[in-house]
A and B are shown apart, each in its own frame.
Chain A
Amino acid sequence: SQQGEEDPQALSIQEGENATMNCSYKTSINNLQWYRQNSGRGLVHLILIRSNEREKHSGRLRVTLDTSKKSSSLLITASRAADTASYFCATDSFSLNTGFQKLVFGTGTRLLVSP
């Protein structure tokens, strides 16, 4: 079952422009993460924001979290061609049966940044 859903599914912009991706989720969370995946590679962790945080920055990345709307956004400022990748949000999901906390990933946003 998918917890996070990214929007848009695909985004095409020019270098220098900002890129905004959104993630919506269904149940309460402790944290939300964003990952990047370059074509043919594994996922790379970008940033983690906890449920008691509203905004977090890392370099050109800015993540916001609105727990009342169960949504998050990832903003990449001054995009570069090297930012071309798929971006996934992931939320933690706790199982009462097993006591195990896992990550549940969305289906991703494909970002294309053209020179």
Chain B
Amino acid sequence: DAGITQSPRHKVTETGTPVTLRCHQTENHRYMYWYRQDPGHGLRLIHYSYGVKDTDKGEVSDGYSVSRSKTEDFLLTLESATSSQTSVYFCATGRGGETQYFGPGTRLLVL
């Protein structure tokens, strides 16, 4: 897993509540990514970061925000969770377009 951990690994929450997922890496990678994985859609990029405090939107960024205050941590926040955000979330590191290394994932259920 290239030194990538995600927390929590599982979470159940209610619609309308805020949720923050954390990704921590120990390899000092500059680039970090958040993806969501849903049946029939494969992995879709939510947000990515190309350095501390440097982030940008991916293809499915609505309803999500991110922050990166340290190289090793990349946080994904659902400001007000909706049922459509029930998914498995993966963090990854690696240079854009090249090999990426994935964390173990976080299963989120929004009731």
Chain A residues with CB under 8 Å of B48's CB are 100, 102
Task: List, in ascending order, chain B residues with CB within 8 A of A90's CB.
Answer: 100
Q: Dominant SS at the A interface?
A: strand
Interface string of B88-111 (1 = CB under 8 A from A): 001010001111111111000000
User: Which residues 26-54 of B have a CB within 8 angstroms of A?
Assistant: 33, 35, 40-45, 48, 50
**Given the contacts A100-B50, A102-B97, A43 and B90 also touching, CB distance less than 8 Å:** yes
For the complex, count residues of B whose C-beta is within 8 A of A: 27
User: What is the chain B residue whose CB lies nearest that of A92?
Assistant: B97
Query: Is there an interface contact between B102 and A2, defined as CB atoms closer than 8 Å?
Result: no
A103 CB-CB contact with B under 8 Å: yes
Residue pair A107, B42 in contact (C-beta under 8 Å): yes
Q: Which of B33, B96, B104 contacts A41 (CB 8 A)?
A: B104
Given contacts A1-B59, A88-B42, contact A103 B100 (CB under 8 A): yes
Digitize B73-84: 1 where CB-to-A-CB distance is under 8 Å, 0 elsewhere: 000000000000
* A interface residues, Cβ below 8 angstroms from B: 1-2, 30-31, 33, 40-45, 48, 88, 90, 92-94, 98, 100-108
Listed by A's residue number, 21 A-B pairs whose Cβ atoms lie within 8 Å are: A2-B42, A30-B97, A31-B97, A41-B105, A42-B1, A42-B102, A43-B90, A43-B100, A43-B102, A45-B99, A90-B100, A92-B98, A101-B96, A101-B97, A102-B33, A102-B58, A104-B45, A105-B35, A105-B44, A106-B42, A108-B42
